[in-house]
Chain A
Amino acid sequence: MKIHIPNSAFLGNIDPFLRNFDTSNPEMLEITANKQWISIHPMVIAMIAALGLSLEFEKIKCETMEARSKHYLKRMGLFDFLKIDSGIEIIEHESAGRFIPLQQITNSEKLTEFITDVVPLLHLEPKHAEPIRYILSELMRNVFEHAESKIGVIMCAQYYKKSNTIRIGIVDRGVGIQKTISALHKAKTDLEAIKLALTPGITGTTKRIGGTDYNAGAGLFFIKSIATVNKDFFVIYSGKGMYKLLKASSEKGIRLHSDPFKDKYSSGENFPYWQGTTVGIDINLDSTEEFSLLLNHIRQTYSKAVKEQRKVYYKAKFI
């Protein structure tokens, strides 16, 4: 595998970075980087860390970083995850209020500890902290429940003062969405599977409307809704499929769709194969709607979607 850390890779311009990911020779990982400046979304850092964790350190080759911003990767803990001596010396300032360095979380109890102990370090007002811990909990629990990821879940986050935005990356190296969804639903491609996973009431654990006692198939729809209401980017990449919720125009009213393909989005189904699932989300704190109002929007859409699903009947097949 070869991965190149570009000059810039955020959710808005993530596509070229993903397309350049070379999946040949999965036993080796070669990391190169832009030599001038590196400015990348936490999702990119989490992806590289996850790739590194899946391999023995002798199988990882990382070129000497020259970019002036190389210290950022060191501070986020990337080289520790890769078990590489980068030779970069830094004075570690307090991360509180600015970022969450790379974390590897391997079970449900550790996730609860993480959410209790680490998220408060972002020093957010309650109205901002609420959607963020909600997103982290739901996305990371999804991994434990569905992904069978041997490395657990890898995440990191960064607060960007200029845009007043928190950017979050959450990555696993599990079975991927298509395998999970296809157990009970028809999904010929990774993108079809992502679409189903984002649709309220559809889960890989049952065909029954309303879900099982443990899973409703609502988690990803809630996350997409939070991003939609706040007019933020949300990317989900699994296998060869990628779905990106685009920023909606701020003048337009909010409308949640149970069908993710009715949102303003871009997608692709021929990306380099990512074993597992990668999620990136931006939360602009200037536009964060009160969580209770957001839940009102979701409530209206969700019940309607479940009722509509009940109207879907099997059709007689004539051959």
Chain B
Amino acid sequence: MKIIKLLSKTGTFAENKDVAREIRIENITPILEKNEEITLDFEGVDSATQSFIHALISELIRSFGNEIVENIYFKNCNKNVQNIINIVVEYMQAAT
């Protein structure tokens, strides 16, 4: 399984959604298009904004469908990052 370590791209506070979009387009989407699973490793990331997580994963849920969540693993997320990921995953599924 492909593992993407986010810390070197985002810093400890993942807030720049231009970076999030770039990671999604360049690193995540090509893997999911091959129907493979992917791990997003948040080790060292203390916190993230909703805007960052939205730019990172919302379009994946919209374009691949809700089931794509099964192919994405979120690793080493602290409670806050988990909460924000859950918020985005839930509202995107509610919206699609």
Which of A115, A130, A295, A306 has the most chain B CB atoms inside 10 A of its CB?
A295
Interface of A is mostly: helix
Q: Tell whether, in the assembled complex, residue B54 and residue A216 are in contact, meaning their CB atoms are under 8 Å apart.
A: yes
Q: How far is the CA of A133 from the CA of B52 in the complex (A)?
A: 13
CB contacts (< 8 Å) of B47 on chain A: these are: 130, 133-134, 291
CB contacts (< 8 Å) of B83 on chain A: these are: 292, 295-296, 299
Judged by a CB distance under 8 angstroms, whether B87 is at the interface is: yes
Q: Using a CB-CB cutoff of 8 Å, which residues 26-85 of chain B contact chain A? A: 46-47, 49-51, 54-55, 58-59, 62, 79-80, 83-84
Q: Tell whether, in the assembled complex, residue A141 and residue B17 are in contact, meaning their CB atoms are under 8 Å apart.
A: yes
Q: Tell whether, in the assembled complex, residue B91 and residue A306 are in contact, meaning their CB atoms are under 8 Å apart.
A: yes
CB contacts (< 8 Å) of A296 on chain B: these are: 83
Segment of A15-23, A97-105, A177-185, A206-214 engaged in the interface with chain B:
A206-214
Q: Indicate the size class of the contact surface on chain B.
A: 20 to 34
Q: Tell whether, in the assembled complex, residue A209 and residue B55 are in contact, meaning their CB atoms are under 8 Å apart.
A: no
| A112-B16, A138-B49, A303-B87 given; A292·B58 CB < 8 A | no
Some 28 contacts from A to B, beta carbons below 8 A apart, are: A108-B18, A115-B13, A116-B13, A130-B47, A133-B47, A138-B15, A138-B51, A141-B51, A209-B95, A210-B91, A210-B92, A210-B94, A214-B17, A214-B54, A216-B88, A218-B50, A218-B51, A218-B54, A218-B91, A222-B50, A291-B47, A295-B83, A295-B87, A306-B91, A306-B94, A307-B94, A310-B94, A310-B95
Task: Beyond the given A201-B95, A299-B83, please list 18 additional residue pairs across the A-B interface where CB-CB is below 8 A.
Answer: A108-B18, A112-B16, A138-B51, A141-B15, A201-B91, A208-B95, A210-B91, A210-B95, A211-B58, A213-B55, A214-B54, A215-B51, A216-B91, A291-B47, A291-B80, A295-B87, A302-B90, A310-B94
